[in-house]
Amino acid sequence: MNQVSILNELETNQEIKACCAAVYESDWARLLLGNSFHPGGLALTERLGLLAGLGPDHRVLDVAAGTGASALYLAERFGCQMVGIDFGQESIAAANASAAEAGLANRVQFQLGDAERLPFEDGAFDAVTNECAFCTFPDKRTAAAEMARVLRPGGRLGLSDLTRPGPLPTELDGLLAWIACIADAQPLEQTTGYLEMAGLAIEQTEAHDEALRRTVADIRGKLLGAELLVKLKKIDLPGADFDQAKAIARSAAQAVREGKLGYALLVAQRSTS
């Protein structure tokens, strides 16, 4: 690859991240997903925390924390200290406001950051969590290496994400599908491969396809409701392309039904040496 195409690729990657962050900061995301932007909601976040062995003396990094619901939940449930990073400035502001509102600002802080360039020292965290976002990182190898780097020896990564065992229908291949974590969903072995390459040992994987099926069904219902509200002029969603969004949601529901799209949770450990 020559220098110009490397630069073009870097620019495109930054645009993808910025676009993804903007979508998850939009009224659309709040309307369709609420506060917790991943299948399984906070119940699956709790499962991730249990399997990753989070505890009161732990300092934990949530990579791609969104508006902070998971980090706040983990801090309350496991008593740990949380730092969240996200690419979206507005998400970070909303997350810090929620931490203050919950009286947790002394134990939970959020800051702007890129998963592919984490602004922390080597070994700074006892655990790292990453929910429903690995699929959206353009450079997965670097993101995996970064999450491993900031873990202390023996520290654990808890990750959940969309998976796909084989090829996806072409209508699930555009930018919107990328941002919805679908277009670049990897086979589970590919994700574990990135993590192993980064020096992490996979301890456990679990399939949670049913959680994804419920989320997609829920989004389809809410899309119909939102379209009706826009038609009735009860709400305003500028630039909303309901036909495209409904087509992606319909196709995603079919892919989940046919086993072409799933959701998985995994825990991996950095070696103790």
Query: Comparing C-alpha atoms, which of 120, 158, 151, 157 is closest to residue 272?
Result: 151
CB of 65 to ligand SAM, least distance (A): 6
Residue choice 91, 98, 109, 215 for contact with ligand SAM (CB under 6 A): 91
Please list every residue from 62 through 81 that binds ligand SAM, using CB under 6 A. 64-66, 69-70
Please state, in angstroms and rounded to a whole number, the distance separating the CA atoms of residues 242 and 208: 28
Please list every residue from 6 through 25 that binds ligand SAM, using CB under 6 A. 17, 20-21, 24
The residue count for binding ligand SAM (CB under 6 A) is 26
Q: Name the residue with the smallest CB distance to ligand SAM.
A: 66
Please state, in angstroms and rounded to a whole number, the distance separating the CA atoms of residues 9 and 150: 26
Most distant CA pair in the chain, distance = 62
Please state, in angstroms and rounded to a whole number, the distance separating the CA atoms of residues 70 and 114: 18
Between the CA of residue 213 and those of 67, 237, 244, 253, 261, what are the distances in Å?
23, 26, 19, 7, 9
84, 32 Cβ separation under 8 angstroms? no
191, 161 Cβ separation under 8 angstroms? yes
Stretch that binds ligand SAM, among 73-81, 95-103, 129-137, 188-196 (CB under 6 A): 129-137
Binding mask 21-60 toward ligand SAM (x if CB under 6 A, else -) reads x--x-----------xxx----------------------
Residue choice 96, 110, 116, 146 for contact with ligand SAM (CB under 6 A): 116
Between the CA of residue 244 and those of 30, 84, 189, 200, what are the distances in Å?
18, 32, 31, 39
Please list every residue from 132 through 151 that binds ligand SAM, using CB under 6 A. 132-133, 136-137
Q: Which is nearer to ligand SAM, 20 or 200 (CB)?
A: 20
Which residues contact ligand SAM by CB under 6 A? 17, 20-21, 24, 36-38, 64-66, 69-70, 85-88, 91, 114-116, 131-133, 136-137, 181
